[in-house]
């Protein structure tokens, strides 16, 4: 028979340590948090062999009294919590009193500390849970802790350690999170005797982001500041152009503590909907502040997850804050050209042949004043045969633009409206703007315009449905037919009239008049494909966004469609009329900007 027996304290410690101390980075995290709680202003970290050999943290915080040194290593001993009620108003990083005990249980630790007001300090070691003798120590005020041979007494754990470089990567990540959450701290990190990071206390958040993530990210951030009741959100969000393949660059902090939260990450992604392609992730560094009693940080051993009193409200708070900021931003994608191939050392231009020497910039005239767009003016949307439907989007503006159209065929359009542009490869429009050379994807832009117009007309109830005199029968499989018919009301709101004809055939009775560019039956077929390709029925909002973008895609001019100058002018004129012309509904950019400065730099004029 098996007997129940009490585990020895050293086994208990090892089990507890298993929860909190997973790898060297966990030790670094706990020690850094202790230094922060001690009110330090400077913290220096020294690592050897990815932390497997040594982790040393030195701070200038309040210190620990000689009498308390041994308690610091005792489990469930803390100076940060007195009773259970305190658990619900936690203002410190630590509170469980477990970290030092756990670390001391699985490594050789030396703790040295001196109270600010005392003339001398003391030191105490702890090896695998065994305390050494208390000694005098003559260091400067603050605490110095050395953790050597992590997991020396738990060989399995030690074997699980990855290469020093990988472990160091985790440590750098921990360091980064802390440095972002506490921009007033002076922090240094060294590995095997080499500087990894030196972050002065004077370096503000934005500069820290530049230090950790590079100038390219730093230059593409928008500051966020949003408040609602007791909740406050500050920080930065990235331009959609700095999207990533995963969510790792989405840093969330709650009351200065880094944490992970699926709900809030979802809110963030949701805010970027339409700006990012599916599977791409936004960059964000967001700091949430909430009263301590609104958050429970005591739900996860390493506190990397928290529980909110009202998660739903927080979700919409975040969604709203980020979306508003994105709307306020100018979202034209900036094209960053690669650096020139053989870059001469700065300032030393090689001798150029005469004909290559820089000349005074004589404007884009030669490019843009090419004579003759050969085609006669024509309206993009043809006509739908019914005079009084709403004018199709491009055609309406083409009419206005053609008033300024010069008979000699030069695409000179009078101010104020539209800048001059040329079409390349029947796919791109290139134009000169004060900011630089703008290259527009004609399909993506038109798609976005139609999408936005459809959306706003649906919203305002002014979407015109073109009824078919003779309903068009569309043959489908029985399953397709039933799926489409199930969504009949939703589709009617989108301007698509559907009726059941029986036997798998549905009748298309009407379609959005705006979309007359392509045969209406084709539009219905895209809808059928969309509905048929899914296991679960989409939410109404998903259905709307998706179908609208599909219909827009379908109806828009394509790459390969040659455009007349009027059509180009009309398209460009509408750029300013819709909310977000910077991305097509699938999230691809509609335009890339080669800034004037970038051009000058590439050609080494500056």
Contact 514, 464 (CB under 8 A): yes
Question: Cβ of residue 30: shortest distance to Mg ion, in angstroms?
Answer: 5
Q: Output 97 or 389, the one with its CB closest to Mg ion.
A: 97
Q: How many angstroms separate the CA atoms of 90 and 439, rounded?
A: 53
Omega before 248 within 30 of 0, i.e. cis: no
Token code pair at residue 604 = 């080494």
Q: How many angstroms separate the CA atoms of 579 and 84, rounded?
A: 52
What does 112 interact with, of ligand ADP, Mg ion, none (CB < 5 to 8 A by kind)?
A: none
> CB burial class (10 A; 0-12, 13-18, 19+) of residue 9?
exposed
Contact 17, 158 (CB under 8 A): no
Phi, psi (degrees; rounded to nearest 5) at 240:
-55, -25
Q: Which residues bind Mg ion (CB under 5 A)?
A: 34, 94, 99
Give the residue closest to Mg ion by C-beta. Answer: 94
Question: Cβ of residue 31: shortest distance to Mg ion, in angstroms?
Answer: 8
Q: Output 45 or 494, the one with its CB closest to ligand ADP.
A: 45
Q: What is the DSSP letter of 37?
A: H
Q: Which residues bind ligand ADP (CB under 6 A)?
A: 30, 34-35, 38, 59, 61-64, 72, 78-80, 94-101, 143
Question: Cβ of residue 146: shortest distance to ligand ADP, in angstroms?
Answer: 12
Question: Cβ of residue 104: shortest distance to Mg ion, in angstroms?
Answer: 12
Residue in the block written with tokens 């934005």? 206
Q: Output 74 or 417, the one with its CB closest to ligand ADP.
A: 74
Question: Cβ of residue 35: shortest distance to ligand ADP, in angstroms?
Answer: 5
Contact 255, 287 (CB under 8 A): no
Q: Output 92 or 402, the one with its CB closest to ligand ADP.
A: 92
Question: Cβ of residue 215: shortest distance to ligand ADP, in angstroms?
Answer: 34
In terms of Cα–Cα distance, which of 201, 206, 242 is closest to 223?
206
Contact 310, 294 (CB under 8 A): yes
Terminus-to-terminus CA distance in the chain, angstroms?
A: 85
What does 80 interact with, of Mg ion, ligand ADP, none (CB < 5 to 8 A by kind)?
A: ligand ADP
Question: Cβ of residue 205: shortest distance to ligand ADP, in angstroms?
Answer: 24
Q: Output 62 or 333, the one with its CB closest to ligand ADP.
A: 62
Residue in the block written with tokens 């997850």? 305
Q: How many angstroms separate the CA atoms of 454 and 515, rounded?
A: 9
SS3 of residue 67 by DSSP: helix
Contact 420, 580 (CB under 8 A): no
Contact 563, 571 (CB under 8 A): yes
Q: How many angstroms separate the CA atoms of 540 and 523, rounded?
A: 19
What does 516 interact with, of ligand ADP, Mg ion, none (CB < 5 to 8 A by kind)?
A: none
Q: Output 90 or 394, the one with its CB closest to Mg ion.
A: 90
What does 59 interact with, of Mg ion, ligand ADP, none (CB < 5 to 8 A by kind)?
A: ligand ADP
Question: Cβ of residue 81: shortest distance to Mg ion, in angstroms?
Answer: 11
Q: Output 30 or 441, the one with its CB closest to Mg ion.
A: 30
What does 564 interact with, of Mg ion, ligand ADP, none (CB < 5 to 8 A by kind)?
A: none
Q: Output 44 or 207, the one with its CB closest to ligand ADP.
A: 44
Q: How many angstroms separate the CA atoms of 264 and 271, rounded?
A: 11
What does 32 interact with, of Mg ion, ligand ADP, none (CB < 5 to 8 A by kind)?
A: none
- 589 Cβ contact list (under 8 Å, min separation 6): 240, 241, 332, 333, 441, 444, 582, 583
SS3 of residue 413 by DSSP: coil
Q: Output 103 or 288, the one with its CB closest to Mg ion.
A: 103
What does 97 interact with, of Mg ion, ligand ADP, none (CB < 5 to 8 A by kind)?
A: ligand ADP
Question: Cβ of residue 95: shortest distance to Mg ion, in angstroms?
Answer: 8
Question: Cβ of residue 152: shortest distance to ligand ADP, in angstroms?
Answer: 20
Q: Output 21 or 494, the one with its CB closest to Mg ion.
A: 21
């Amino acid at each position: 028979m098996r007997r129940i027996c009490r585990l020895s304290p050293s086994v208990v410690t090892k089990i507890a340590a298993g929860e909190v101390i997973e790898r060297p980075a966990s030790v670094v995290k706990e020690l850094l948090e202790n230094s922060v709680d001690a009110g330090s202003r400077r913290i220096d970290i020294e690592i050897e062999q990815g932390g497997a050999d040594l982790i040393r943290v030195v701070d200038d915080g309040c210190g620990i009294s000689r009498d308390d040194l041994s308690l610091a290593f005792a489990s469930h001993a803390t100076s940060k919590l007195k009773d259970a009620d305190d658990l619900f108003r936690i203002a410190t990083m630590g509170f469980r009193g477990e970290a030092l005990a756990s670390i001391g249980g699985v490594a050789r630790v030396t703790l040295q500390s001196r109270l600010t007001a005392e003339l001398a300090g003391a030191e105490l070691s702890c090896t695998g849970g065994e305390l050494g003798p208390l000694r005098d120590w003559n260091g400067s005020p603050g605490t110095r802790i050395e953790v050597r041979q992590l997991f020396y007494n738990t060989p399995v754990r030690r074997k699980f350690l990855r290469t020093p470089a990988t472990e160091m990567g985790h440590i750098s990540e921990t360091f980064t999170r802390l440095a972002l959450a506490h921009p007033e701290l002076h922090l240094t990190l060294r590995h095997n005797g080499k500087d990894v990071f030196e972050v002065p206390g004077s370096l503000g958040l934005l500069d820290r982001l530049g230090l950790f993530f590079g100038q390219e990210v730093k230059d593409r951030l928008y500051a966020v500041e949003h408040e609602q009741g007791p909740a406050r959100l500050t920080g930065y969000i990235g331009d959609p152009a700095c999207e990533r393949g995963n969510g790792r660059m989405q840093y969330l902090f709650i009351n200065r503590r880094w944490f992970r939260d699926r709900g809030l990450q979802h809110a963030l992604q949701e805010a970027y909907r339409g700006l990012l392609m599916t599977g791409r992730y936004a960059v964000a560094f967001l700091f949430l502040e909430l009263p301590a009693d609104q958050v429970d940080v005591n739900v996860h051993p390493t506190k990397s997850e928290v529980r909110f009193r009202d998660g739903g409200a927080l979700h919409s708070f975040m969604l709203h804050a980020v979306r508003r900021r994105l709307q306020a931003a100018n979202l034209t994608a900036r094209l960053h050209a690669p650096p020139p191939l053989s870059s001469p050392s700065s300032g030393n231009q090689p001798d150029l042949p005469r004909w290559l020497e820089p000349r005074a910039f004589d404007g884009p005239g030669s490019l843009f004043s090419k004579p003759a767009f050969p085609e006669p003016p024509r309206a993009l949307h043809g006509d739908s045969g019914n005079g009084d439907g709403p004018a199709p989007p491009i055609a309406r503006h083409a009419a206005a633009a053609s008033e300024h159209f010069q008979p000699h065929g030069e695409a000179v359009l009078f101010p104020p409206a539209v800048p001059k542009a040329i079409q390349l490869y029947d796919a791109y429009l290139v134009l000169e703007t004060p900011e630089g050379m703008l290259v527009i994807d004609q399909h993506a832009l038109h798609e976005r315009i139609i999408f936005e117009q459809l959306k706003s007309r649906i919203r305002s109830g002014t979407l015109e449905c073109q009824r078919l005199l003779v309903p068009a029968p569309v043959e489908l499989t029985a399953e397709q037919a039933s799926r489409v018919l199930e969504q009949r009301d939703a589709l009617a709101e989108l301007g698509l009239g559907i009726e059941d004809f029986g036997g798998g055939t549905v009748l298309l009775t009407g379609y959005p008049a705006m979309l007359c560019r392509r045969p209406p039956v084709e539009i219905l077929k895209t809808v059928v494909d969309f509905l048929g390709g899914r296991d679960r029925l989409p939410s109404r909002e998903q259905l709307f966004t998706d179908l609208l973008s599909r219909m827009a895609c379908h109806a828009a001019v394509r790459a390969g469609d040659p455009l007349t100058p009027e059509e180009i002018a009309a398209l460009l004129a509408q750029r300013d009329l819709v909310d977000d012309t910077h991305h097509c509904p699938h999230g691809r950019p509609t335009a890339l900007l080669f800034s004037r400065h970038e051009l000058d730099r590439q050609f080494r004029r500056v």
